[in-house]
Amino acid sequence: MTNVVVIGSQWGDEGKGKIVDWLSERADIVVRFQGGHNAGHTLVIGEKVFKLSLLPSGVVRPGKLGVIGNGVVIDPWALVEEMERIRADGVSIDPASLVIAENAALILPVHRSLDRAREAARGDGKIGTTGRGIGPAYEDKVGRRAVRVCDLADPAMLRQRVADLLVHHNALLKGLGDEPVSAEQLVADLEEIAPKILPYAGVVWQVLDEARRAGKRILYEGAQGVMLDVDHGTYPFVTSSHTVPGQGASGSGSGPKSIGYVLGITKAYTTRVGSGPFPTEQDNEVGRLLGERGREFGTVTGRARRCGWFDAVLVRQAMRVGGVDGIALTKLDVLDGLDEIKIGIGYEIDGRRYDHLPASQALQARAEPIYETMAGWKESTYGARRWADLPATAIKYIRRIEELIDTPVALLSTSPEREDTIRVRDPFEG
């Protein structure tokens, strides 16, 4: 048996929630290793729908340990609200079922204020931030002025951390025309929330090391997608963390050898939220049809997603950067009934053909897709649980995707229901 890391292979919103939930039944521990509450996972279990942002997906299943790793930035107020909401749905959450890394950095109200103020100041140059303070919190972490979970247990250290942090942030807020933040009020707010967070604080790297030695199965759950990685994505229209599989190790205190199989969640078409390049985008009736059928609205923000054809170049790039072993192809049923389906197989930029998306923002903006057209299918693939239930043309489309991205399909999801999954290979079996 092996441990598995799950990542998105596009710009996020690939349907990771359902796949992670499907895999969590086979896991003992589910670990969040990067991002914040800007990413959402929707789980459908029977008649219940759970919408999670910070909590690991496994937390809704009895007997599983959920872990929030050091690579995550945590808004303690958002986390407490999410825990209370999930409890109201009948889920038990206690220190026996959830551990939070003591060295994880916190998102503070000042981070949200700065996030929104800077995005407003960008005008037409907005990068599409959710305004939840994720970026400023990561900046403080790298700048060595973050308030961390462990600081909540030390009043003197907490006051010192807040004072140091506000020297930086109040100067920025003043420059942007906003009011400065009161250190006394921020400390008081943190002292009030601390008792609701500290019981869950633990030494995550040690917990995971002991679990590995005991032969337990660990599922590492990523947020967003590879093309939103701060290094490997469509910079600057990216998130503020590393979304690639390697972050599963560093964002949880695990060694790189602890990850045995990399599963890339891949939508059968392409979507993205907010600003940034999107070569295969269909700002037309096709795009609207995909959005309506796929219910393409953000779990956290509610924003409509931009939709377009499958971009094999982009996904192949994610496969190679991420070292992906197999993909879980999702939302195939959204393409049902189309006469023809297009796949992006290359880009043309200034008369030159590219087999990858270049790093230059200017070149990305001028990328024109080169398409291959395939026949669609009229039959429904919704809810299919066997390859034999799929139309021949749908199988042909899947096989062509495998060829173009040079990665096999391990799982095929045909509806939001967890049982509507065709398993080709169990990732936990390597």
The token pair that represents 22 in the structure block = 């499907």
* Lookup result for tokens 């971009």: 311
The token pair that represents 58 in the structure block = 């496994």
Instruction: Name the residue among 304, 328, 311 with its Cα closest to residue 409.
Output: 328
Other CB atoms within 10 A of residue 172 CB: 16
Letter for the amino acid at 202?
G
Q: Rounded distance, CA 414 to CA 418, Å? A: 9
Asked about 426 being catalytic, the answer comes back as no
Cα separations (Å) of 90 from 37, 48, 64, 85, 130? 21, 10, 15, 9, 29
Other CB atoms within 10 A of residue 127 CB: 16
Residue 11, classified by CB atoms within 10 Å of its CB into exposed (0-12), middle (13-18) or buried (19+), is: buried
* Lookup result for tokens 């937390």: 59
- Read off the DSSP letter of residue 107: P
Helix axes 183-197, 155-175, angle to 10 degrees: 130
Show the CA angle centred on residue 294, arms to residues 293 and 298, nearest 5°: 135
397-400 own/partner pairs: CB under 8 Å, 24+ apart: 397/268, 397/332, 397/335, 397/341, 398/329, 398/332, 400/343, 400/372, 400/374
Cα separations (Å) of 391 from 102, 149, 342, 382? 51, 52, 17, 11
15-50 residues labelled b (16+ CB within 10 A) or e (exposed): bbbbbbbbbbeebbbbbbbbbbbbbbbbbeeeeeeb
Beta-carbon contacts of 403 under 8 Å, excluding residues fewer than 6 positions away, are none
Residue 189, classified by CB atoms within 10 Å of its CB into exposed (0-12), middle (13-18) or buried (19+), is: middle
- From 21, 28, 37, 41, active-site residue: 41
Asked about 229 being catalytic, the answer comes back as no
Q: Rounded distance, CA 207 to CA 45, Å? A: 28
Q: Rounded distance, CA 233 to CA 243, Å? A: 9
- From 13, 151, 229, 333, active-site residue: 13
Backbone angles phi, psi at 202, to 5 degrees: -160, 175
Positions marked active-site: 13, 41
